[in-house]
Amino acid sequence: MKMDYPLQGIKVLALEQYIAGPDCTMWLADNGAEVIKIERPKVGEPRRNYLPVVEDEAGNKAFGGFKLYNRNKKSVTLDLQKEEGREIYRELIRHADVVVENLGPKTIKKLGLEYETLEKINPRLIYAAISGFGRLDEYKGVYSDRPAFDPVIQAMAGILDHIGEEDGPPLWGLPGMADLFTSVVTGYAILLALFMREKTGKGQFIDSSMYDSLASLNAMGIMIYSFAGLVVRRGTAGKFQYPMGTFQVGDGCYVALLVANEFIWERFCRAIGREDLIKDSRTENGLVRVQNREFLDPIVHEWMQARTNDQVVHELINEGVPVGPVQSTEDLVNCPHLKARKMLMEIDDPIAGKRVFAKTPFRMTGVKEPPAKTAPDLGEHTESVLTGWLGYDRETISRLRQDGIV
């Protein structure tokens, strides 16, 4: 059997909003799944009007905040507040392989569309629920009913406690990290469930918690606390090895490096022309280098300041020291390596024109390049899906539109 994409033939219903759900299903769509995004009639999901915005001569608007996480999907409008809308959704469930849902903690139960109901309609259904703090009753915790956004989760999972100056406040680092990492974890779980279904014939419920995901991302901090009793936080990262972190160079730019062990330390010393420091009692291992930073810092600083960004990177790389420049988003968009890796995808949108997006970050030798279809207009595929999946005729769909069901 010839397959262009690994998820070819897999049908996904997406009851999603904001980032975590949409990013997860976008990865599935990039790899061949047919993703049907269920949205409220006339309104759509909240990110449909997220900036930045591009407007064409006719006044039509394309919102980058929505385009970012919704390429290669289909949009169906359906009013789940009405019983007829819920009945259509249940009909779609009969044909679906996967549901990805990240609505509020109590919304799905109020609608009567929870997994326990849907699995009776389709026992092969895989239902992935993304929430801030988890859904399953047997794992219910004190935060389970709370709503959550990305900075809340980053803060509670200890991520923000790592970012900033030692005597300064915690800082919000990468916006959306909790959503994005959870979306990948959820996608991984969906693939595991699909693999299990091939063997058992049964679907299952996936309980994906943003808090759990970022706690696992903080695994090193948890281990260090357990082994050493040390709370790794702002200003404490360099307790075991040095040099590490970011360093300003002569042209005002910054580079990042980590001398992770004594093999790298020898290479670093050769690169800066100070082989005498390899066995110096003040610098011979990571712990003493940390203790003698007042001695070592001026040496490193002087060498860095005498060189440009490119020179520092070139000279350290030549000796096998891992180092890289601190790059901006503009640097990424123009990066020749990313272009060679085909990591940047150009999508031609009818309103915004050609725009650049980051692509799914892996390559498979037996898989075609991901499609480059722009995010769908609200309800763009309602008729084709209701016709193709459920066999509805135009008269029925017209009546549903008049009644505000679709």
Residues taking part in catalysis: 179
Rounded alpha-carbon distances, angstroms, from residue 392 to 239, 340, 388, 399, 400: 66, 46, 8, 11, 11
Find out whether 186 and 130 touch, Cβ atoms under 8 Å.
Answer: yes
d(C-alpha 208, C-alpha 204), whole Å: 13
Count of other CB atoms within 10 angstroms of residue 163: 16
Q: Which strand ranges, in their side-by-side order, compose the sheet holding 11-15?
A: 74-77, 34-39, 11-15, 98-101, 126-131, 205-209
227: helix, strand or coil? helix
Is 66 buried (19+), middle (13-18) or exposed (0-12) by CB count in 10 A?
buried
Find out whether 328 and 254 touch, Cβ atoms under 8 Å.
Answer: no
CA atoms within 13 A on the CB side of 20: 27
Beta strands (DSSP E) in 238-278 are 244-248, 254-258
Percent of the chain as helix, strand, coil, to the nearest 5: 40, 15, 45
User: Which residue, among 120, 135, 138, 220, has the nearest Cα to 186 in the 3D structure?
Assistant: 135
Token pair listed for 383: 């008729």
DSSP 21: H
Q: What is the DSSP string of 270-319?
A: HHTT-GGGSS-TTTSSHHHHHHTHHHHHHHHHHHHHTS-HHHHHHHHHHT
